[in-house]
Amino acid sequence: MPNYFYLDANGTKQGPVNDQQLQILATQRVVTPQTLMTTESGHQGLAGQIQGLKFPSEPLNRQTYILLAIIGGMSGWHCSYAGYRKKWWVHFWLVIIGIPLMFAAGLGVILWIISYWIAIGEMLYENDGYGIRMKE
């Protein structure tokens, strides 16, 4: 595998990424088979067409996702597990902001309730953050 660039959702070039880094990104589900890749010579194709690049074949476990939402819903553990990175940051900042507010004025409890409310809604998700259906 030659060095590849990968394009993010906004179409901006990221890289260069060598074959070892690309394999790590594929294992972490950052690069999916549908990710548009461009070689250094300018040829474009999908990551799924790259010979030797292996993607995780086992879907995430939905029960683990739900358990993480119940145990650590306010901190977003379930979002991190399923690859919902932006949602994880929302949970993270609700907790970071909520702890000082809880001690200062009791407002943090409201933020924690909102965070858990969001987590309960997210338990209904059937696909992970990359669109792959979680197994039951």
Q: Hunting for tokens 């939402």 — which residue is that?
A: 69
Closest CA to 97 of 88, 83, 107, 87: 107
Compute the average pLDDT of residues 53-78. 81
Residue 131 in domain: no
Domain shared by 68 and 106, yes or no: yes
Q: Hunting for tokens 């507010």 — which residue is that?
A: 101
Residue 42 in domain: yes
Residue 56 has pLDDT above 60, yes or no: yes
CA 67, 73, 77, 83 torsion-angle sign: positive
What is the end-to-end Cα distance of the chain in Å, rounded? 35
Residue 80 has pLDDT above 80, yes or no: yes
Residue 136 in domain: no
pLDDT recorded at residue 58: 75
> What stretch of H or E contains 111?
helix 108-122
Q: How many residues does the chain have?
A: 136
Residue range of the domain that includes 43: 4-49
The beta strands (E) that lie in the chain are given as 4-7, 13-17, 36-39, 44-46
Domain count, the chain: 2
More confident residue, 16 or 62: 62
Residue 39 in domain: yes
Residue 27 in domain: yes
The DSSP secondary-structure symbol of 59 reads: P
Q: Which of 18-27, 31-40, 108-117 has the lowest mean pLDDT?
A: 108-117
Residue 127 in domain: no
Compute the average pLDDT of residues 119-130. 78
6-33, pLDDT tens digit by residue? Answer: 666 566 677 777 778 888 788 777 777 8
Write down the mean pLDDT value for the chain: 77
Residue 108 in domain: yes
Domain shared by 109 and 81, yes or no: yes
Residue 135 in domain: no
